Amino acid sequence: MKRWMWRRSLPSRRFLAIVPPFVWLGLFLLLPFLLVLKISFAELKFGIPPYTPLAALKDEVLTLSLSLRGYALLFSDSLYIATYLSSVKMAAVTTVCCALIGYPMAYYIARSHPSVRNVLLLGVILPFWTSLLLRVYAWVGILRNDGLLNKFLQGIGLISAPLEIYRTDLAVYIGLIYAYLPFFILPLYANLVKLDNRLLEAAYDLGARPWNAFLRITLPLSMPGVIAGAMLVFIPSVGEYVIPEMLGGADTLMMGRVMWTEFFNNADWPMAAAVTCVMVMLLLVPLVIFQYGQVRQLEQQQRRRNGKA
């Protein structure tokens, strides 16, 4: 009897646990996205809202009108395609740079004495206490032709004319790497700090020099952290608006800026929505790969547990 009750109550309890996140995702992710998707198939129109409805009751006949103008334009105008490619490229370069800079930092923090560790972690998190906008403004001040960097370099006599960094792609890279570096460091740190030191000792014991032990033991075992960090950097970088807008030049092509222009300058909501939808699809690819990797890892753990039993 008791057993029966327990079994009966199990699905409902599981259901209760899953409902809140599902409702949350449905209301704040799926629904807005469906709205955007709807708008992307609408026709441009002056007025409020600035697009036509998809379905209309005309002379007691329900007419459904889907416009593919936005998508057609997207794939015919080379500028959009170039922007997508450029966004992905910039996000990819940012991710690689974050990995190259962030890995040693995460490694160093994870290896340092526990009392120092928290101070160093705080140092990584500290910039979040200031608004991103302010921090990017600070970079404007540093990178401008008459900014801190140029003044300093000219002051010590290294260069005679100011370096043109501000309003170039380089400035955008600097801004992106700066802003997203903590997102790479934190998950990787969480992974590295769990690494069993005895595995490294075992590697040394078996004749591996420190660098070899790192390559064969630490690096492969920290890959889940690297992948998680890379996702956290890559995905928001692709759609980043503030940094390319404030640091990039007129020729810095990034999706976020195109969306802004379409929405606010051209007031072309359907076009902007189409740009957004394609970008979401673009971002789904790495996400799905990531998810697949995680599921496989979970399955492996499951198999391990079954194997042990």
- Nearer to another protein by Cβ, of 162 and 293: the residue is 293
Tokens 């409702």, located at residue: 23
| Contact stretch for another protein (CB under 8 A) within 43-51, 140-148, 209-217, 251-259 | 209-217
The whole-angstrom separation of Cα 136 and Cα 141 is 9
- Nearer to another protein by Cβ, of 131 and 212: the residue is 212
- Nearer to another protein by Cβ, of 124 and 217: the residue is 217
The whole-angstrom separation of Cα 116 and Cα 38 is 52
CB of 114 to another protein, least distance (A): 15
Residues 276-305 that bind another protein (CB under 8 A): 303-304
The whole-angstrom separation of Cα 251 and Cα 172 is 12
CB of 147 to another protein, least distance (A): 47
CB of 295 to another protein, least distance (A): 18
Among 21, 114, 155, 307, binds another protein (CB under 8 A): 307
Q: Where are the alpha helices (DSSP H) in the chain?
A: 2-25, 31-40, 69-76, 78-111, 114-125, 132-143, 148-155, 169-192, 197-205, 210-213, 219-221, 223-238, 242-247, 255-260, 269-308
- Residue 168 backbone zone (phi > 0: left; psi -120 to 50: alpha; other: beta): beta
DSSP states of 24-65 = HHIIIIIHHHHHHHHHHTSPB-SSSSSB--SEEEETTEEEE-
- Nearer to another protein by Cβ, of 100 and 199: the residue is 199
Query: In sequence order, what are the residues at sequence separation of 6 or more whose Cβ sits closer than 8 angstroms to the Cβ of residue 87?
Result: 238, 239, 253, 254, 255, 256, 279
What are the Cα distances from residue 42, in Å, to 34, 38, 73, 263, 278?
A: 13, 7, 14, 14, 15
The whole-angstrom separation of Cα 302 and Cα 296 is 10
Total of chain residues touching another protein, rule CB under 8 A: 21
CB of 115 to another protein, least distance (A): 14
308 binds another protein (CB under 8 A): yes
The whole-angstrom separation of Cα 36 and Cα 28 is 12
Among 25, 34, 66, 202, binds another protein (CB under 8 A): 202
- Nearer to another protein by Cβ, of 114 and 207: the residue is 207
Residues 213-272 that bind another protein (CB under 8 A): 216-217, 220-221
| Contact stretch for another protein (CB under 8 A) within 28-36, 37-45, 54-62, 212-220 | 212-220
The whole-angstrom separation of Cα 204 and Cα 304 is 27
205 binds another protein (CB under 8 A): yes
Residues 99-138 as x/- pattern, contact with another protein by CB under 8 A: ----------------------------------------
206 binds another protein (CB under 8 A): yes
Residues 172-201 that bind another protein (CB under 8 A): 196, 198-199, 201
CB of 299 to another protein, least distance (A): 13
Instruction: List residues near another protein by CB under 8 A.
Output: 196, 198-199, 201-209, 212, 216-217, 220-221, 303-304, 307-308
